[in-house]
Amino acid sequence: TPRTSRNFIQQIIDADRARNPDTVVHTRFPPEPNGYLHIGHAKSICLNFGLSQEYNGKFNLRFDDTNPTKEEQEYVDSIIDDVRWLGGEWEDRLFFASDYFDQLYEWAVQLVKAGKAYVCDLNAEEMREYRGTLTEPGKNSPYRERTVEENLDLFQRMKAGEFEDGSRTLRAKIDMASPNLNLRDPVMYRVKHAHHHRTGDKWCIYPSYDYTHGQSDSIEGITHSICTLEFENHRPLYDWFLEKLDVHRPRQIEFARLNLSYAVMSKRKLLQLVQEKHVAGWDDPRMLTIRGLRRRGYTPEAMRAFCERIGVAKFNSTIDMAWLEDAIREDLNERAPRRMAVLRPLRVVLTNVQPSSSHTCHLANHPQKPDFGTRDVTMSREIFIEADDFMEDAPKKFFRLKPGGAVRLRGAGIAVCDEVVKDADGNAVELKCSFNPDTTATHDGKKVKGTIHWVDAGEAIEAQVRLYDHLFAVESPDDAPEGGTFLDNLNPNSLEIVTAKVEPALAEASAGESFQFERLGYFVVDSVDSLPNKPVFNRTVTLRDTWGK
Ligand code: ATP
Ligand code: MG
Ligand code: MG
């Protein structure tokens, strides 16, 4: 990357390295294992891992597992899998904050001994009252002046399990009048008699996020601790602990979290969508979880390209969903073989083709890439075309099929519509056409303009195709209507299921394989519901951005 286009994080790191040329840039991704990763996390992974790569440094995956009641092994496993899928590599640098519980406890004792921490008996509500507000200073806790001996004794007994949940905390002794509320004697430890997914029942006191995060970064030798903007005013506290403990001090850098239009990003809301069954699960292809995006047919390459393109910002903003869709479109345009599928079939009888005869079309698997090879597709007397490729009262500019009109059948020849067969309601149910295998043929002395896709009626197989659209109908789903919630903004048409007719080559497609269905979009074989020889397809994205048009 040329120096001139360095983002602000790269500029900070460049400057640090100019001052200390020996710096080995060391970043980390620190998820809490309390849910599945979403695209916002992907941004953080790509950023942190990307920097470690760029500077030839190191990257850690660290679970911030300090809250035993919300965390589960299931989430740990899925996060590991998702980070790996995205391309993040941590080699042997997989860590858990819970591995540091002993060290964190020792350090807490050290702060107590130095008169920098005390045991407080205020309950949560009292603590809130004493805390003050942005405009009013807080009040000192009545327990703030306990002696070191008393604090050591009480803290030790907190650890030994003598006290009930919520009855006592260990707090840092900083400044109840600080304009920064995070510095008003923040909680370091809470009593919580809860089983931890890794440490079991060893602990009944658990360290807070603020007390854990910086020290974990420090233990691991992280040089640049990158987090989202909401932690900006936690930075003085991050620095305070490290300074008082006199240990390695990583630099915390904040960037704007990723927000996307037509999406919600908070784990709480994603969980609600799953629990209330507005979607089929965490991996529903409409969910912007990494699982959902994978199942939707997104590739790691497209996700990384997207993250790279949106860059890093210092101020919050919302990225247009179209950026994400463009990224996968561009990637699949390169890598997805072409196939023909008809989503809403209309039968066409080619009247001059003999019932017993058929001819073979050699179709390119990729128009620009000969190395993708060709495949043979059979054409016989009956085929299906897309119902909306025929129009009875067509405007002049309609270059598909209309009564008396001609259209090119991709890779096969030219069909002229001689007759429309209708049902009792007047709907076209079948077309009778004459066929000319000469693709250069003219009609009424004119070049045939339109080309449509088709499948052979005898050979085509049926496949379920799921046409996904945005889960939310409005750009900012978090802006709930008066008296409502974000759920009122759900898009009622985010999923349409059709039974399509697809060319036989698609029967053998395997889970996760992507194709371009010509003229329709990119589709992936669903990894959950497909059966051998019975693929189910998910629409990843349409060929063009059609939203709102
Ligand atoms: P959520 O608010 O969705 O629950 P979180 O921040 O609580 O997310 P963590 O597991 O703590 O979830 O996040 C791990 C890392 O991912 C953190 O460093 C966090 O800053 C980053 N991260 C989370 N959401 C986003 C986002 N939308 N954009 C960029 N980074 C994010
Ligand atoms: Mg968090
Ligand atoms: Mg959160």
Q: State how far the Cα of 463 lies from the Cα of 460, in Å rounded to an integer.
A: 9
Q: State how far the Cα of 288 lies from the Cα of 265, in Å rounded to an integer.
A: 8
Q: How many domains does the chain have?
A: 3
Does residue 349 belong to any structural domain of this protein? yes
Residue nearest to atom 4 of ligand 1 (CA): 267
Same domain, 71 and 132: yes
Does residue 154 belong to any structural domain of this protein? yes
User: What distance in angstroms lies between residue 413's CA and the mean position of ligand 1's atoms?
Assistant: 54
Among 422, 452, 482, give the residue marking a domain's end. Answer: 452
ipTM of this predicted structure: 0.95
Show which residues are catalytic.
Answer: 32, 257, 267
Among 255, 279, 302, give the residue marking a domain's end. Answer: 255
Same domain, 235 and 312: no
The 3-state secondary structure of 214-259, one letter per residue: HHHHHHCCCCEEEEEHHHHHHHHHHHHHHHHHCCCCCEEEEECCCE
Q: State how far the Cα of 382 lies from the Cα of 361, in Å rounded to an integer.
A: 15
Same domain, 189 and 329: no
Same domain, 162 and 186: yes
Residue nearest to atom 18 of ligand 1 (CA): 227
Same domain, 490 and 420: no
Mutate to test the pocket of ligand 1, among 39, 41, 51 (most ligand atoms within 8 A of CB): 41
Buried b (16+ CB within 10 A) or exposed e, 315-327: eeeebebeebbbb
- The gap from C-alpha 207 to its chain's centroid, in whole angstroms, comes to 30
Same domain, 297 and 446: no
For residue 452, the SS3 value is strand
Q: State how far the Cα of 95 lies from the Cα of 89, in Å rounded to an integer.
A: 13
- The gap from C-alpha 303 to its chain's centroid, in whole angstroms, comes to 8
Q: 3-state DSSP: the chain helix, strand, coil percent, rounded to 5?
A: 30, 25, 40
Pocket around ligand 1 at a 6 A CB cut-off: 30-32, 40-41, 43-44, 227-228, 257-258, 265-267
Q: Which ligand is nearest to the CA of 270?
A: 1
Does residue 495 belong to any structural domain of this protein? yes
Q: What is the mean pLDDT of each run of 10 residues along the chain (549 residues)?
A: 77 97 97 95 98 98 95 93 98 97 98 98 97 96 98 98 97 98 98 96 98 98 97 98 98 97 94 97 97 98 97 93 97 98 98 93 96 96 97 93 96 96 96 93 91 97 97 95 94 98 95 97 98 95 68
Same domain, 390 and 411: yes
- Residue 3: predicted pLDDT: 52
Atom of ligand 1 lying closest to residue 270 CA:
3
- Residue 71: predicted pLDDT: 81
Picking from 190, 181, 195, the residue whose alpha carbon sits closest to that of residue 212 is: 190
Q: Which ligand is nearest to the CA of 231?
A: 1
Same domain, 382 and 278: no
Q: State how far the Cα of 494 lies from the Cα of 416, in Å rounded to an integer.
A: 36
- What is the extent of the structural domain holding 537? 267-338+463-542
Q: State how far the Cα of 284 lies from the Cα of 470, in Å rounded to an integer.
A: 12
- Residue 354: predicted pLDDT: 95
Instruction: Please work out, in degrees rounded to the nearest 5, the angle formed at the alpha carbon of residue 345 by the alpha carbons of 285 and 473.
Output: 35
User: What distance in angstroms lies between residue 32's CA and the mean position of ligand 2's atoms?
Assistant: 6
Does residue 246 belong to any structural domain of this protein? yes
Same domain, 216 and 300: no
Residue nearest to atom 23 of ligand 1 (CA): 41
Does residue 261 belong to any structural domain of this protein? no
Classify 533 in phi/psi space as left (phi over 0), alpha (psi -120 to 50) or beta: left
Say which CATH number the domain at 380 has: 2.40.240.10
Does residue 262 belong to any structural domain of this protein? no
Among 419, 452, 485, give the residue marking a domain's end. Answer: 452
Does residue 446 belong to any structural domain of this protein? yes
* Rg of the Cα atoms in the chain: 31
- Residue list, annotated binding site for L-glutamine: 64, 209
Same domain, 58 and 158: yes
Does residue 260 belong to any structural domain of this protein? no
Say which CATH number the domain at 132 has: 3.40.50.620
Q: Encoding tokens for residue 67?
A: 């809250």
- Residue 544: predicted pLDDT: 84
pTM (two decimals): 0.94
Same domain, 400 and 529: no
Residue nearest to atom 24 of ligand 1 (CA): 40
Q: How far is residue 206 from each of residues 74, 113, 192, 240, 486, measured CA to CA in Å?
A: 21, 19, 7, 20, 33
Same domain, 251 and 275: no
Picking from 470, 459, 401, the residue whose alpha carbon sits closest to that of residue 430 is: 401
Q: How far is residue 203 from each of residues 158, 164, 192, measured CA to CA in Å?
A: 10, 13, 8
Q: State how far the Cα of 413 lies from the Cα of 454, in Å rounded to an integer.
A: 11
